[in-house]
A and B are shown apart, each in its own frame.
Chain A
Amino acid sequence: MILDGKCPSGPLANKWDTHRQTLKLVTPANKRKFKIIVVGTGLAGASAAATLGELGYRVEAFCYQDSPRRAHSIAAQGGINAAKNYPNDGDSIYRLFYDTIKGGDFRAREANVYRLAQISNAIIDQCVAQGVPFARDYAGYLENRSFGGAQVSRTFFARGQTGQQLLLGAYQALSCQIAAGSVKAFPRTEMLDLVLVDGQARGITVRDLTTGEIRCHAADAVILATGGYVNVFNLSTNAMGCSVTAAWRAHKKGALFANPCYTQIHPTCIPVSGDHQSKLTLMSESLRNDGRIWVPKKSGDTRLPQDIPETERDYYLERKYPSFGNLAPRDIASRAAKEVCDAGYGVGPGGRGVYLDFGDSIERLGEDAIRARYGNLFEMYERITDENAYRQPMRIYPAPHYSMGGLWVDYNLQSNVDGLFVLGEANFSDHGANRLGASALMQGLADGYFVIPYTIADYLARTTPGTIEDTHEAFRQSRQQVAQQTDRLLSINGRKTASEFHRELGDIMWEQVGMARSATRLTEALKRIPELRDEFWQNVRIPGSAQQLNQELEKAGRIADFLEFGELLARDALNREESCGGHFRVEHQTPDGEALRNDADFAYVAAWQYKGADQTPVLHKEPLTFENIELAVRSYK
């Protein structure tokens, strides 16, 4: 099947405006008759739930955390992009659009990305109106900083906690609607199934994580804003509870999964310290504005960094990419770090690290200026490593961080399943094969505040509200199926813990499907993942019962899904015979080791259809057509 993204025709700059004129509306009196389910309360979910509540729809918002305020968007540090051009440095909507398309290595839809750039400015206005305390200059105006992959300063920030402040803004808007009665929140509740009636998404089945109760919620439309899937690598910068479960269960009900192999490995994370490691900590890549990345020129150099003279240091990013230097995009910076470490130049335990050195900046600007910019990050680094980064360089190493792939959606953010909409990191639509820094927050809020309120109305206006109740047969079946899986997990009573399986899966994924992928390694992964999955279903041990708060049961359910999803990710990576963005196939590189795209054969979105357990999924393609920009070799030299 050739998929149609349903992008509007006409000039790029007018597409969204023209399209909005064609979208149907729901009158105010009718809005309250429609019920909308929103799963996930991060930037995309909370902003969508709040905005739809304001408009008068009846909204139910679900999250697995104990409060909507804790969704993982909260951990984003660096900032949010917008094309305001406040610094007068040459930015524009077109430039933000172009940077995003280029940063994504020409694997995103033009129309979606242009809309994102257009909306970016309204997001900043909205957040300021909510009281988000962005950084200001002495005149009282908003400040900007530069970020990887851009030559202008377009990033707005609130110290090193931009994600937290934006999420609290959205959470506060959501709280306002909960108080008003238009939104009902269901924290500590995990979605375990999508319910379809006559091919339309009509509700979800959830487990109340406190009591273990499995119940159904019916609605007129379902929105998934459930984040990304890089915890498939086990060690990542994502929160412990982040999973592919909601998206995967929707996939098993027919929603296509697009470009799962596009995963982003973030270059500035704190290196692994031992086997006990439960997660990796990211430090904002804004650090690369003032820090210089280097390794010793001599392999296996064990001197302290301060004892290594300037002439014996290799500032490899500045050497290889003179115009972008330390601000090269994330995929390039990560791969370069892995390359120098694989070649034996790495520093720290196991040689899995490179230096990020603030010595020059501290000398130039003073320690206070650096403290004002990154104080909280330096503190965090010291708490974890016991090292003072004002005195000696930080050690950093890449870690899985973000997934550009996700459920397939059209221009209206609707999946191929009628009535199922997917927002934020959970969809695939805007970042192509690689996401630029400070663009995730932008996309989550664009989808939630400014896209879905328009597009969902168009869908709802074509349906009759409230026609399905949760007593429908489809809900009974779904509830039964979810209960069966829970019982099955608890009855195995094997010898290995869920976390042990997660670690083993993570090892396979990181080694075989991580940064430098090859057909041999991917084929190996495709053999080993199903074996591990079979073992899981025979040998996992989950104590306790289903009728209680049971964190091992929750974890096992998520890992069971990762054990299926990991295979799809590897399959997609094997299918994509090119290197682009976060997806690097060693067979496809230029003589000097850069990614080599294959536009003739792979300028398409790979959307996979589930065909049943242990069946090979079917690949559908959405061709990417570029009407406005020329495909170019992405160069940051």
Chain B
Amino acid sequence: MDLTLHVWRQKGPKDKGRLTTYKATDISSDMSFLEMLDVVNEGLIKQGIEPIAFDHDCREGICGTCSQVINGDPHGPQARTTVCQLHMRQFKDGDEIYIEPWRSRAFPVIRDLVVDRSAMDRLMQAGGFVSVKTGGVPDANTILIPKDDAETAMDAAECIGCGACVAACPNGSAMLFVASKVGQLAKLPQGRAEAARRVCTMTDAMLEEGFGNCSNHYDCEAACPKGISVKFIAQLNREYFMALPKGHKEKN
């Protein structure tokens, strides 16, 4: 198939970007979206044009590196699918495709489709962990966890930290990302000890990093390649209200 691509090109963080049009010809429907971009880039290099910079690594939908808004949708049109797992059979001959980077105040553009998501690392550093040190822990089977709780924790833990939820949200909110970690650890006895403190410090960090608030659009869940449910945002709110007096006291 032959396609027309409109791709966001931006030399550096301080430069002005713009959409540039390229032709993608002889594209096989078995190619992944990124393999299609590889082919386009090979062509650009041969013409002496700098290739389109885009983030990608594992190309199997788990590392969370790829990050493109395709025709307005983070990760493109297919539900529960990262860009790297999106295949060209989702498109048809003659299609025009708009490709942009994640858009959010908290994710500045580095170059073309590559953005800086270090704000998400800082959210995790604010409390997205159990602060247990290596060694001196009890036998694994001394901590019993009801199967349903373990499953719910795993549902939340599937988050790959790609940031599509932020890119999809009209407010640029990171609530689903934070909720997935808070939700996972709050469900487990190992995480309960710090639950109040965690939800407060991570929420504060969201504000500091410039992420917006949640106003229940649920675009995050629709964009999430792992299908993380917004019910975890409800749980995040519940944890926050329960923790508010206690958590801030602990923090100080």
A contact set with B: CB distance below 8 Å: 47, 50-51, 54, 65-70, 72, 74-75, 84, 86, 122, 124-131, 133-142, 158-159, 161, 164-165, 168, 171-173, 175-176, 178-179, 185, 187, 210, 237, 239-241, 273-274, 276-279, 281-282, 379-380, 383-384, 386, 449-450, 453, 495, 497, 499-500, 541, 543-544, 548-549, 551-552
Contact = CB atoms under 8 A, between A and B. Distances in A.
Contact of A240 (B59, B89, B120): B59
B79 to A, nearest CB: 11
A132 to B, nearest CB: 8
A544 B9 CA distance: 14
A526 to B, nearest CB: 29
Contacts of A159: 154, 158
Contacts of A137: 147
Contacts of A134: 140, 150
B132 A383 contact: no
Given A277-B35, A278-B38, A543-B51, A380 B60 contact: yes
B106 to A, nearest CB: 14
A47 B132 CA distance: 13
8 closest residue pairs by CB, A with B: A140-B144, A172-B129, A129-B137, A128-B140, A133-B154, A179-B125, A133-B153, A136-B150
Given A142-B141, A172-B124, A552-B51, A450 B118 contact: no
A173 B143 CA distance: 19
A178 B125 contact: yes
B188 A125 contact: no
Contacts of B131: 176
B111 A126 contact: no
Given A67-B161, A168-B157, A54 B134 contact: yes
B128 A497 contact: no
A133 B153 CA distance: 6
Nearest to B139: A125
Interface in B15-41: 28, 30-32, 34-36, 38-39
Interface string B68-83: 0000000000101100
A379 B81 CA distance: 10
B125 A129 contact: no
Interface stretch (B42-50, B232-240, B243-251): B42-50
20 contacts: A67-B161, A69-B64, A74-B62, A84-B140, A131-B130, A131-B185, A136-B146, A139-B144, A172-B130, A175-B121, A175-B129, A178-B121, A179-B125, A276-B28, A278-B32, A278-B35, A281-B59, A383-B61, A383-B87, A384-B85
B104 interface: no
A86 B110 CA distance: 49
A449 to B, nearest CB: 5
User: Secondary structure of the B side of the interface?
Assistant: loop
B59 A279 contact: yes
Nearest to A139: B144
Nearest to B123: A175
B207 interface: no
Contact of A69 (B59, B114, B161): B161
B203 interface: no
Given A128-B190, A142-B141, A273-B30, A497 B60 contact: no
B140 A125 contact: yes
A185 B120 CA distance: 14
B129 A173 contact: yes
B111 A548 contact: yes
Given A128-B190, A140-B147, A380 B61 contact: yes
Contacts of B38: 276, 278, 499
Contacts of A383: 61, 78, 81, 85, 87
Contacts of B50: 543-544
A45 B133 CA distance: 16
Contact of A51 (B49, B134, B139, B154): B134
Given A276-B31, A380-B60, A66 B65 contact: yes
A279 to B, nearest CB: 5
Contact of A161 (B11, B85, B146, B158): B158
Given A125-B139, A133-B153, A176 B129 contact: yes
A358 to B, nearest CB: 21
Given A67-B118, A379-B80, 7 more contacts: A74-B63, A75-B62, A134-B150, A142-B141, A176-B125, A176-B129, A281-B59
A84 to B, nearest CB: 7
Contacts of A69: 64, 121, 124, 161
A347 B230 CA distance: 43
B173 interface: no
Contact of A165 (B127, B128, B157): B157
B135 to A, nearest CB: 7
B81 A136 contact: no
Nearest to A543: B50
A431 to B, nearest CB: 22
Contacts of B59: 239-240, 278-279, 281
B31 A239 contact: no
A162 to B, nearest CB: 11
Given A125-B137, A175-B129, A544-B50, A549 B64 contact: no
